[in-house]
Structure 1
Amino acid sequence: MISKTTIDKVYDAAQVEEVIGDFVQLKKSGSNYKGLSPFTDERTPSFMVSPVKQIWKDFSSGKGGNVVAFLMEHELFTYPEAIRYLAKKYNIEVEETEQSTEEKEQANERESMYLVSAFAQQYFEDILWRSEPGKAIGHSYFKERGFTDETIKKFGLGYSLDEWEAFTKHALQQGYQLEFLEKTGLTIVKDQADGGKKTFDRFKGRVMFPIHSMSGRVLGFGGRILVNDKKAAKYLNSPESDIYHKSKVLYGIYFAKQAIAKEDNCYLVEGYTDVIQMHQRGVENVVSSSGTALTPEQIRLINRLTKNITVLFDGDAAGLRASLRGIDLILEQGMNVKVCTFPEGEDPDSFAKNNSYGDVVLYLEEHSMDFIQFKTSLLAKEAANDPIKRAETIRDIVHSVAKIPDRIKQEVYIQECARMLQVSEAVLYDTLAQITRKGISDAAKKLKQLQQAFEVVKNEEPVEKVDVQYELEKKIIQMLLLYGNQKQEFEDLVLKENEEGDLVLQPEIVEAKVYEKIYLALQEDEIELSNEDFKAVYYKLIEELNENDDFNLNEFMTRLDQDFVNELSSLLMEEEKYTLHDWERRDIYPKEKEQGIAQLVDETILTLRCNLIKNRIAQLQKNTKESNGDHSETLEEIMNYLQLNKLLNAKLSRVLS
């Protein structure tokens, strides 16, 4: 268990904008920050972070909460894992008891797989530095590649002994279960004829490259064999598992994320050693797709940090041809793409190794070309003087332009393409229109097929009505959270008889804190919140606000159930949602909520009273229908309620039918 002292220190130190900024590119928006949702595929920002409230809200997915909730949602951390991550980030010593073997066994499946992966990384690293084979074989290999000891340690590189069960036996001796060694792919298990099981180390005799998530957790491994064995793959990756999905992971993203955001550009290379060598040379904003074809999920991972990708290639023609498919995928995500090729016989690894930092940076700046220039020059060489191939080349390039969602960028690229290929813009626009129309037509056909595949069942159930009581109670909690300790001048309504003997509501101005006004108003009318979650948090809030003049919203949120924090974040960030629309750009200046807090409180309480009166009248009317006898007293009560309801609605400037 982590001590409460540690948890309090973590919450005091952690800044929500700093933590989330490691995963999402945030831009200042007034007093808040906004960015693209890390939970959905979107091109316009709907993700808001409030440094003042220390919470975040993703309006596209509905998720939200404090800094811990983000890590639990985004990185699938447990609560203790999130606290440990933040403690490490802010250099806070964690006070906790060491996990016993029994506690390891009780951990859930995903947590157990993370534990096994972290243990394996440490084991392979220890073998590299402390065992004779590790030093002689593994460490020597990395030194030959030009990696310094500092770099080897930073990337957690290691070595797996050239023995069939060295790792597996050690892991089992340390209390790790074979089930999770197999599920992470570290151990291969074969059933024997006699019913027993035979185990093998998957990465036997390989140097090890741990693959980290964006937060630094070990998800899997890449292993390179060091002997010439035609039967064995040169590189071997961990298999797909619950924690490792190749298509959603980029090698080096953990070490590159801050540099990517700072430089506002990401260099994309092919292999592990390319990433490490470039990083060691000082170019840290570099990641790799780990030998797999680039996927939309990997591109979106980069998109959270920057809109700019520069793809780095060696001079291999087959590799260049394959790169074109990746470029189209990047364009589809609305990103800006540049391409840089190295001299023949060079790749990012060798070039970074053999050149200084200044030379590498200068080369990248001078030789990075826009995708349209790269694709045009590459395909134009292939077409040469063949008119048919030339026509195919032009169509191929326009196909790429059609992938771009931004119409302005499309036009700029069409103009550039016309200039480079010496073709009229009109012809290119016609071709683009044909491709676009075909794309729309194909999409319409697919939609029609889907509609035909499923029987459309008419929903005959009535449309669900808005729960007025719930919405009003939600508004009360929102006002307490945001403005509970603020002093305001309220207009109290006192029921009095005028000279004619009629009941009228007379206003009286009183100064009070928002929480005092709400509490006294609900007490006066003997109103209790009907929603159990709201009721529980209401009394906690009143108690906290009454006892503590320096009410700390973030600290209060840490003591609530994390699932409920998600719902509360919607209330707290409701106003920020509308800043996403950038109304000022349209010369519309919405009134800030803080400018009318007293009015908001008064209107909410009055509306709540009206709703309760309406429900009471309905109940009394129902009673008169269901019972026989004298209803004169009930009818008089109904008339009094109707008169009071009329007065309250007059105050709210509502017209009653």
Structure 2
Amino acid sequence: MIPRDTIQSILDAARIEEVVGDFVQLKRRGVNLLGLCPFHNEKTPSFTVSPAKGIFKCFGCGKAGNAVNFVMEHEKYSYPEALRYLASKYGIEVEEQEPTPEEKQQDTDRDSLFSLNDFARKFYVNTLFETEEGKAIGLSYFLERGFREDIIRKFQLGFSPTAWDTFTKTALQNGYSEKYLVDSGLTISKDGKHYDRFRERVMFPIHNLTGKVIGFGGRILTSDKTKPKYVNSPESEVYNKSKSLYGIWLARNSIVARDNCFLVEGYTDVISLHQSGIENVVASSGTSLTTDQIRLISKFTRNITILYDGDPAGIKASFRGIDMILEQGMNVKVVLFPDGEDPDSYARKHSSSDLEGFISNNSDDFIAFKTRLLLDETQNDPVKKARLIHEIIHTISLIPDPIIRPLFIRECAEIMQIAEQTLMNELNKLLRKKKLKGYEGESQEQIPEPVIIAPPQELAPDITDCSAQELDVIRMLLLYGSKEIKIRLQSDDPELNEYFRTSVAAFICNDIRASQITFDLALYQAVFDAFARGVDTDALPDERFFTMHADPDIVKLAIDLLSQKYELSPGWEEIKIYVPAETDGLDETVPRAVLSLMHRKLSALIQINQKEMKELDTMSEAWADHLSRDIYLKKARNDISRRLGRILNG
């Protein structure tokens, strides 16, 4: 359990733009920052970060919160886990108190798997550096490949012993359960016996965005053809292959800085490029590229450069994955290494500057690359060339940007020496087909008969529902609570113009309490009570009090009301056109909001009172009491109607 004062230190240190910036590429827009939402798939940015308020808000999916909420939502952490992550990021020491039995019980499978994976990482690293077997087999292999010791330690590489169950026995002796050993895939259980999955292999830990180990890859060093060269962790509660990229946790900052991500195939490609000073590189770890992996990269950049070895068959096999990148609106370039070379081998044979120069000078856009590669195979065969044209047009049709598509058409027309308009006509045909695809192949019998739905009856408004008026009052408190307003004193003398000055919070809280109004929604009442206490103690709560509140419902409400989707362009000021703001009329807006709430509350009371009257004997004393109450309530409501300038209706 983390002490309260430590929690406050963490909250004070956390800067929302830095926390979110570790996961999302942000660009400044006015006083706020804008990026693609990490919580839903979007191509037009609607995810806003406000450094001044310390909050984030997505106007697409509605997700909102503070730095802690963001880490919890993005990494699926518990509240304590998110606090520990932020404490580590900002160098705050956390001296935790002994958790209660109830808190221990709340440990999840994810917590246990993360803990076990970290233990395994330390075990494999220790075996590599501290045991004779590890140094003789594993460390010597890495050193022979040219990896420096600092790079080996940076990637936390290790070695799994040759014995059948050394790791499993060690983990069990250290209190880790058999269930999580099997669930993580570190241990295989068969016929009542247990043995290590990664026996006699050099180990490559796979990390998530925050650097937590989620799985492993193991490479065998013997020439035994009966065993696979690489073995990977099976999928688990914390490891999903299609959503993971090797090296992303070390690459993300460099990807943002260079606005480009180098995509390679294997672990050693990533490690060699890092050793050469190129850090904006990740690997798909031998799996086919997935949409989720592309979206993971798109959080940091819209540009991907794929580094290929010289194997044409492998390149063609990856074409579908690259089409998926284009479909996501990403920009793709390709670098083809010489025959017999891959990024790992080339990096080991050349200096860092030579490697960077080679990548820079040999980057080609994917459409042109694909066209040239396949064109060589047509051998001037018209049929093959026609087939190639259709394939290239299909790839270009996947690009969502209608401005970029014609540019690629022009480039391909020059390469294939064919009329640009011919390719454009084929592209338009394909685009029209895609648009009509949903209607193709449907017979008349398959089209359902139209269902005629009667227009909805216009419902009378529910005047007992005060939620809109309550929300408006809470909005005034959160946005303008500490601002000063000038209020005209009520007087029977129309010529008397006396005013007093007070804060928005003091006016609202005092008026509502004097009228004995309570909020129907408990959430609104909690916010109101916080302001009322602040008015009484002369210490009004600020925005941060609510955006960093322990109650997530209060946090969401505050952020929803404090966030603004649009900002006024500075161009209006430059051309000297003044646009009125709500703050300009608070002297009238705030009292009107309170009066509107009172009016709705009185209307609700009148309706409830009249409903009760219908159940009573008109000659009874109770009915007479209700009639007196009805007259009193209507008189009070009519008085408020006059002050609001509304038409009186009895």
What TM-score does the superposition give when structure 2 sets the normalisation length?
A: 0.91
Going from structure 1 to structure 2, the CA distance change for 1:652 and 1:447 (only over 3 Å counts) comes to: farther
Q: What is aligned with 2:87?
A: 87
Q: What is aligned with 1:379?
A: 374
- Kindly state the Cα deviation for residue 24 of structure 1 after the two structures are TM-superposed: 0.5
| Structure 1 residues 482-493: aligned runs within 5 Å | 482-491=479-488
* 1:105–1:177 Cα contact (<8 Å) kept: no
- 2 CA distance for matches of 1:348 and 1:653? 76
Q: What is aligned with 2:618?
A: 629
* 1:315–1:346 Cα contact (<8 Å) kept: yes
Any idea what SS the aligned residue of 1:577 has?
coil
Going from structure 1 to structure 2, the CA distance change for 1:655 and 1:32 (only over 3 Å counts) comes to: farther
Is 1:578–2:573 an aligned residue pair?
no
* 1:205–1:225 Cα contact (<8 Å) kept: yes
* 2:247–2:282 Cα contact (<8 Å) kept: yes
Any idea what SS the aligned residue of 2:146 has?
coil
Going from structure 1 to structure 2, the CA distance change for 1:490 and 1:438 (only over 3 Å counts) comes to: same
- 2 CA distance for matches of 1:566 and 1:543? 21
Is 1:515–2:505 an aligned residue pair?
yes
The aligned amino acid for 1:237 is N
Q: For residues 498-547 of structure 1, what are the alpha-carbon distances to aligned partners after superposition, in whole Å with 9 as ceiling and x for unaligned? A: 79xxxxxx975331112111111111211111212222232234324654
Q: What is aligned with 1:114?
A: 114
Going from structure 1 to structure 2, the CA distance change for 1:649 and 1:389 (only over 3 Å counts) comes to: farther
- 2 CA distance for matches of 1:199 and 1:447? 56
- 1 CA distance for matches of 2:500 and 2:57? 35
- 2 CA distance for matches of 1:268 and 1:335? 13
- Kindly state the Cα deviation for residue 207 of structure 1 after the two structures are TM-superposed: 0.9
Q: For residues 66-98 of structure 1, what are the alpha-carbon distances to aligned partners after superposition, in whole Å with 9 as ceiling and x for unaligned? A: 101001000011111111111111111111257
Going from structure 1 to structure 2, the CA distance change for 1:374 and 1:591 (only over 3 Å counts) comes to: farther
- Kindly state the Cα deviation for residue 224 of structure 1 after the two structures are TM-superposed: 0.7
* 1:307–1:335 Cα contact (<8 Å) kept: yes
Any idea what SS the aligned residue of 2:214 has?
strand
Which is bigger in relative contact order (C-alpha 8 A, separation at least 6)? 1
Q: What is aligned with 2:319?
A: 324
Going from structure 1 to structure 2, the CA distance change for 1:544 and 1:166 (only over 3 Å counts) comes to: farther
Is 1:68–2:68 an aligned residue pair?
yes
| Structure 1 residues 121-136: aligned runs within 5 Å | 121-136=121-136
* 1:66–1:554 Cα contact (<8 Å) kept: no
Q: For residues 208-260 of structure 1, what are the alpha-carbon distances to aligned partners after superposition, in whole Å with 9 as ceiling and x for unaligned? A: 11111111111111111111111111111110111111000111110000111
The aligned amino acid for 2:408 is Y
- 1 CA distance for matches of 2:493 and 2:627? 21
Residue 478 of structure 1 is aligned with which of 472, 475, 479?
475
Is 1:415–2:410 an aligned residue pair?
yes
- Kindly state the Cα deviation for residue 605 of structure 1 after the two structures are TM-superposed: 1.0
- 2 CA distance for matches of 1:297 and 1:584? 41
Unaligned runs of 5+ in 2: none
Is 1:620–2:609 an aligned residue pair?
yes
* 1:332–1:405 Cα contact (<8 Å) kept: yes
Going from structure 1 to structure 2, the CA distance change for 1:581 and 1:251 (only over 3 Å counts) comes to: farther
Going from structure 1 to structure 2, the CA distance change for 1:23 and 1:508 (only over 3 Å counts) comes to: farther
Going from structure 1 to structure 2, the CA distance change for 1:653 and 1:345 (only over 3 Å counts) comes to: farther
Residue 611 of structure 1 is aligned with which of 593, 596, 600?
600
- 2 CA distance for matches of 1:271 and 1:98? 43
- 2 CA distance for matches of 1:308 and 1:650? 62
* 2:547–2:554 Cα contact (<8 Å) kept: no
Q: What is aligned with 1:249?
A: 244
Q: For residues 612-652 of structure 1, what are the alpha-carbon distances to aligned partners after superposition, in whole Å with 9 as ceiling and x for unaligned? A: 12112212322332222256775565455445444534544
* 1:646–1:656 Cα contact (<8 Å) kept: yes
Q: What is aligned with 1:502?
A: none
- 2 CA distance for matches of 1:626 and 1:597? 44
* 2:246–2:283 Cα contact (<8 Å) kept: yes
Any idea what SS the aligned residue of 2:137 has?
helix
- 2 CA distance for matches of 1:187 and 1:444? 51
- Kindly state the Cα deviation for residue 115 of structure 1 after the two structures are TM-superposed: 1.2
The aligned amino acid for 1:26 is L
Q: What is aligned with 1:281?
A: 276
Going from structure 1 to structure 2, the CA distance change for 1:507 and 1:217 (only over 3 Å counts) comes to: farther
Residue 539 of structure 1 is aligned with which of 509, 529, 532?
529
Q: What is aligned with 1:565?
A: 555
What TM-score does the superposition give when structure 1 sets the normalisation length?
A: 0.90
Aligned-pair Cα RMSD in Å: 3.3
Moved more, 57-66 or 46-55: 57-66
- 2 CA distance for matches of 1:566 and 1:4? 22
* 2:531–2:541 Cα contact (<8 Å) kept: no
- Number of equivalent positions: 641
Identity in percent: 44
| Structure 1 residues 396-475: aligned runs within 5 Å | 396-444=391-439, 468-475=465-472
* 1:485–1:549 Cα contact (<8 Å) kept: no
- Kindly state the Cα deviation for residue 348 of structure 1 after the two structures are TM-superposed: 0.9
* 2:506–2:535 Cα contact (<8 Å) kept: no
